[in-house]
Amino acid sequence: MNREGLIEKVLQEGERRADEVEAFCIRGRSVSAGIKKGILGTAEESESWSMTIRTIKDGRIGFSSTGDPDRWMECLDAALASGRIATAQEWGGLPVPDTAMFSAPSADLDLAVDIGNAAGMVEDLLAGAAEHPVDIIGGGVDLGRSHRELANTNGVAYSMERTIAAASLEAIREQSTGYEFDASPFLADIDPRAVGEAAASLAYRSLGGDRVDTGRYDVILSPIAAASLIGNILIPALSGRNVKAGRSFLADKLGDQVFDETLRVYDDPHSPGRGSTAWDGDGVPTENLVFVDQGVLERFAYDLRTGYRYGEESTGSAVREGAGEPGIGVHNLVIDGLRRSDMGYGRAISVHSVVGAHTANPFSGDFSVEISNPFWIEDGEATRPLRTAMLAGNVFEMLREIEGFGMDDRRIGRLTLPSIRLNNQQIIGK
């Protein structure tokens, strides 16, 4: 079946049977080169296409998706059937076209989705890792390009491209492991050799390690460790749906000084990043959103349906993952605050990553996780590796008592953030 003109057909047919219809298509191609036994072992190429349809009738929202263009009518029927069951809600209409939209740099025009290029980058990863005496236990390179189209019966017809270049490597020396990665829409941002070197260095330098006694210590979370705790706890608490449903710790705190007075948290969809986009998953123009300024909670994130339901404006925060229904999320979330060049003053424990961040309590913010690649930091220098230990705390309390932010901003998925120093944290030694 020809996919050209399919969206128009769906909108035309759907409009006869519902008040409004929206169709979203993603077409993508990606390649990946995977490392096995320290050399290239698998070459993959994937092509995918999916269409998701939303229908609105009398304030009831229906949804379905399909990976087969020939089954578009079945998909439309399923969307309408699901809408008949959904609870009716306040609804003010799908967006109309915006003529003054920003552009967002989301794709690298020069990125070639080619297995030969991915294989070449794997060679660089391995060359970087070879700088330290370690074994390679996994990793690889992914290159991908996708084309997204969103159209609705109010005349919206947007399209955009996304690209991704990603490299990762995991190394081991005896029982010491090191994992590093990087991913960006822009190939030039990725230095596979540096990723390989960093992973190997971590595994090598973490070998052995001192015992640490249970107690309170100053801790420096790397951007990776900070991102996994913040991503699992802070981001859901900023979702307007969670706020209105009574599932957010931050629900009744708008306008309050909730965090450290230098903390700034904002979504910047128009800057280059993994989530850069000019329009959100509902077709609403995106904008720069400041959630936390000088530690004061300024706003929450809303999509169209949650906005209409609770009398709030959409903040252009609808995000789509593959063929799923759009939900509230962030595009390019930036965490910023008072930077200090002497993050490692005195004596502290640095934490590269954590094991088990997803087991945190997303509502209370409490967590206790295993820490990976910890080191003693003395006057700014990593001295000795530490043996395994746990870190226990509460993310909302941590963000109130930040000692400082490093100068080392890093992209981790849809987050950009530096390392964070927190004093007097609870470490459980073994």
Partner 1 sequence: MTETRYYDIRCVQGEATLIDIDNGVIESAGTSYFDRTVVRALGPKGWGILTRDHVDIDSRREVDALVEAATRLAVVTHDQIDLADAPRALLPVPPLAEDPREIDLEEKTRLLAGIESVARIPEVANTRARYTEGIDSVRFLDSGGNEFSYEAVRSGFSVLAIASRNGVMQMGSERDHITTGFNLRGKQDLGQKAGEVAVSLLDAKLAKGGAMRAVLDPELAGVFTHEAVGHASEGDLVREGASVLAGKIGEQIGRSGLVIVDDPSLHEFGFIPVDAEGVAVRRTEIIRDGILTSFLHNRETLAAVGDGVPGHARAEHGAPPIVRMSNTFIENGDATYDEIMAECRDGILLIGSRGGQVDPGRGVFQFNAEYGYLIEGGEATGMVRDVSLSGEILSTLHDITLIGDDRRMSPGYCGKGGQTVPVSDGAPHLLLDGAMIGGRGE
Q: What part of residues 82-141 is at the interface with partner 1 (CB under 8 A)?
A: 82, 85-87, 89, 115-116, 119, 135, 137-138
Near partner 1 by CB under 8 A: residue from 5, 246, 255, 311: 246
85: phi then psi, degrees, rounded to nearest 5: -95, -30
Question: Which residue among 12, 42, 257, 294 contacts partner 1 (CB under 8 A)?
Answer: 42
Q: How many residues bind partner 1 (CB under 8 A)?
A: 77
Residue 329 binds partner 1, judged by CB under 8 A: no
- Shortest separation between residue 426's beta carbon and partner 1, angstroms: 6
Single out the segment in contact with partner 1 by CB under 8 A; choices: 151-159, 168-176, 191-199, 405-413: 168-176
Cβ-based nearer residue to partner 1, 236 or 269: 236
Radius of gyration of the chain measured on its C-alpha atoms: 23
Binding segment toward partner 1, per CB under 8 A, in 17-25, 31-39, 92-100, 267-275? 31-39
Interactions with partner 1, residue window 264-293 (CB under 8 A):
none
CB of 373 to partner 1, least distance (A): 9
Positions 369 through 428 that interact with partner 1 (CB under 8 A): 369-370, 372, 388, 390, 392-394, 426, 428
Binding segment for partner 1 (CB under 8 A), chosen from 10-18, 190-198, 312-320, 356-364, is 356-364
Nearer to partner 1, 153 or 232 (CB): 232
Whichever of 91 and 405 has its CB closer to partner 1, that residue is 91
The answer to whether residue 257 forms part of the interface with partner 1 (CB under 8 A) is no
Contacting partner 1 within 43-72 (CB under 8 A): 43-50, 52, 61-68, 70-71
Tell me whether residue 186 or residue 367 sits nearer to partner 1 (CB atom).
367
**The one among 159, 175, 257, 341 contacting partner 1 by CB under 8 A:** 175
SS in 3 state form for the chain?
CCCCCHHHHHHHHHHHHCCEEEEEEEEEEEEEEEEECCEEEEEEEEEEEEEEEEEEECCEEEEEEECCHHHHHHHHHHHHHHHHHCCCCCCCCCCCCCCCCCCCCCCCCCCCCCHHHHHHHHHHHHHHHCCCCCEEEEEEEEEEEEEEEEEECCCCEEEEEEEEEEEEEEEEECCEEEEEEEEECCHHHCCHHHHHHHHHHHHHHCCCCECCCCEEEEEEECHHHHHHHHHHHHHHHHEHHHHHCCCCCCCCCCCCECCCCCCEEEECCCCCCCCCCCECCCCCECCCEEEEECCEECCCECCHHHHHHHCCCCCCCEECCCCCCCEECCCCEEEECCECCCCCCCEEEEECEEECHHHCCCCCCEEEEEEECCEEEECCEEEEEECCCEEEEEHHHHCCCEEEECCCCEEECCEEECCEEEEEEEEECC
366 touches partner 1 (CB under 8 A): yes
From the list 278, 285, 276, the residue with the least C-alpha distance to 333 is 276
Candidates 152, 153, 176, 419: give the one binding partner 1 (CB under 8 A): 176
- The region of 159-167, 172-180, 264-272, 276-284 touching partner 1 under the rule CB under 8 A is 172-180
| By CB under 8 A, residue 239 contacts partner 1 | no
Which residue among 41, 93, 133, 155 contacts partner 1 (CB under 8 A)? 41
Residue among 98, 287, 325, 336 that touches partner 1 (CB under 8 A): 325
